[in-house]
Amino acid sequence: MIILLATGGTIASVDGPAGRRVGRAGAELLTEAAKVWPIPQQVDVRDTRALVSSALTAADVQELARHCGNSRPVVITHGTDAMEETAFAISLLRGPTDPPVVFTGAQRPFDDPSPDGPRNLAAALAWAGSPEARGTGVSVVFGDEVLPAIGVRKTHTLSLTGFSAPGRGPFAVVDEGGVRKFAAPELPTTALTNADLEIEGVEVLSVQLGMTNRSLDAALASDAALVVEGMGAGNAPPGVTARLVTAVEHGRPIVVTSRTGAGAAVGLYAGGGADLARAGAVFAGDLSTSHARWALAAALSHGQRWKVRLKEWLRQAGCVGAEPLAPAQE
């Protein structure tokens, strides 16, 4: 049996005078999906929320994680705005031997003349019910592709292939040819935390040219941990870098990501990322900023060992290498 958790989102929305609103339940979504391909096994439909995903809270994500359990495959219909965050957050709470959790949704509403939701849900159910999905953790099925929760991003606002995993790519496909798996996602051996994620204690600082001290002052005035979304491979203007270095040296948890959308954040440049790395900031490799925020929140549940635990998790997840490569010496 597959458990289908319906949370709302575009896949369950209909157009109205004030804009799109969630207006369809999980059973209706399943009925439409069954018109695309036969459902592989019995489905237990549970409606848990009726919201667009931008309206979800951290508490909603925690509750959804508890609904997943650890005995049966789960498919979650979810809004696309925050799907990458919820999928990643739940992946932090699960181990590689847990049953698969599969997210899907739609870019077009339920009442669109040519909706994409039914096919996406049919594919997600086929994937979740397939032996190939075992041991693949949490994934996102969208536009016939199966993408890893670790690394997935919404990369287009409206396209029917709105999700990708830069540098990692899809590891399986589901279409008229069936379920075909051609790779395996990198999965840490254990969950990053077994505690509730206190995401409210982690803030994001986006680095821009010409940024004023106001945003930096506000970030450093609080006691929140920081994810610094840097330029390029993780750089900031020298004045910003210097203040962040001081914060790290005084014990502020800081994780560095890249705003580019693909590739690894690495401390390479003097006056920028290299200074932050030497001071002890953690570079998150190819994790997006939103993913790094959840990962840092999970790591902080380990107290003073947060940095050791986070670095190990990043290595096991394929986000960073075991050792950085130094330039060859002549």
Residues involved in catalysis = 10
Query: Which residue reads 């799907």 in tokens?
Result: 83
Can you tell me the distance from the alpha carbon of 32 to that of 116, in angstroms, rounded to the nearest whole number? 11
Can you tell me the distance from the alpha carbon of 230 to that of 151, in angstroms, rounded to the nearest whole number? 18
231 forms beta bridges with 235
Nearest CA-CA partner of 311 in 289, 290, 281:
281
CA atoms within 13 A on the CB side of 225: 25
Can you tell me the distance from the alpha carbon of 35 to that of 28, in angstroms, rounded to the nearest whole number? 11
H helical segments located in 148-272:
213-221, 238-249
H helical segments located in the chain:
26-33, 58-68, 83-91, 117-128, 213-221, 238-249, 273-279, 289-299, 306-316
Query: Which residue reads 């599969």 in tokens?
Result: 102
Q: Is 58 exposed, middle or buried (0-12, 13-18, 19+ CB in 10 A)?
A: middle
* Phi, then psi, of 80 in degrees rounded to 5: -80, -25
Coil, strand or helix at 76:
strand
